[in-house]
Structure 1
Amino acid sequence: MIIGMGSDLCNIDRIENSLKKYGARFENRVFTQLELAKAAKRPMTKAATLAKRFAAKEAFSKAVGTGFRNNVFMRDIGVVNLPSGAPTLALTGGAKSRLDMMIAEGYEAFIHLTLTDDLPWAQAFVIIEARQKL
């Protein structure tokens, strides 16, 4: 059953401007080391790569109904790839705690994530599904 969904649209130029203005301070406040490493491998599209991840963090915060409050921080939400290559989220800290609170006993959470970009926009959709444990 679907227990949460969220979407976000992010302007890539806004992320590019934040990277230029705040540099590592912005990067380290918002993104995980894995996300930054992936973006570093894509110097021509670094801003777009990070903008999609920024949108994913926003979409997740909407899907759990908190926004960035109640100990849900951007750095606690990281975009990772499954062995198939499909993107999903790895959660720590308050983001993981919030999701855990939403899942009934005997169920487990599955996060579905899709990302896209088309300059100047990056977009993410998150669907959180609870599946009964077998």
Structure 2
Amino acid sequence: MILGIGTDLANIDRIARVLERHGDRFRNRVFTDIEQAKAERRLDTPGTYAKRWAAKEACSKALGTGLRMGIAWKDMAVSNLPTGQPVMHLTGWAAERLAAMTPPGHAAVVHVTLTDDHPWAQAFVVIEARPLHIPET
């Protein structure tokens, strides 16, 4: 069952200007060390940050809160599997919210996909509740 869906569209040039203006202050407030390391290794550093910004916004919408109610930017983080597939990790209040919205007898799975086509970066997040036990027929 679907618990939440969120999407966000971020302007890569806007994120580049914020990075130029606020540098480490912005990076350290919004992105985890893993996210920063990934972005700084990429040729399109602003695009990588913009996709992760969009993922955090989309995740907060899928959680039904937006960026309020105690969710911190770093409570939602994107990393990548060895295949390149993005994976969303929730900690802190975001993880608490996810647990509260997950029905008993289910496990929550957060799906995320990212894309960009300059000057836009986009993310979709779908939160799914999967039954822990599948009934026998």
Q: CA RMSD in A?
A: 0.9
Gap regions ≥5 residues in structure 2: none
SS of the equivalent of 1:23 reads helix
SS in 2 for 1:9: strand
Residue 47 of structure 1, CA deviation: 0.2
Deviation by residue 1:75-118 (Cα, 9 ceiling, x = unmatched): 11000123443112011101111111100111001111110001
Report how many aligned residue pairs link the two structures.
133
1:101 aligned residue: 100
Counterpart in 2 of 1:89? Answer: 88
Instruction: Say which one has the larger Rg.
Output: 2
C-alpha distance in 1, partners of 2:98/2:129?
10
Determine helix, strand or coil for the equivalent of 2:84.
coil
User: In structure 1, how many angstroms separate the alpha carbons of the residues matched to 2:120 and 2:82?
Assistant: 27
Is 1:17 aligned to 2:17, yes or no? yes
**Pairing of 1:1-134 with structure 2 (within 5 A):** 1-42=1-42, 44-134=43-133
2:122 corresponds to which letter in structure 1? Q
Equivalent residue of 2:94, what SS?
Answer: helix
TM-score by length of 2: 0.94
Q: Give the Å deviation of 1:73.
A: 1.2
**What is the SS of the residue equivalent to 1:104?**
coil
Q: For structure 1, which runs of at least 5 residues remain unmatched after alignment?
A: none
What is the TM-score when the length of structure 1 is the normalising length? 0.96
Q: What's the offset of the Cα at 1:12?
A: 0.2
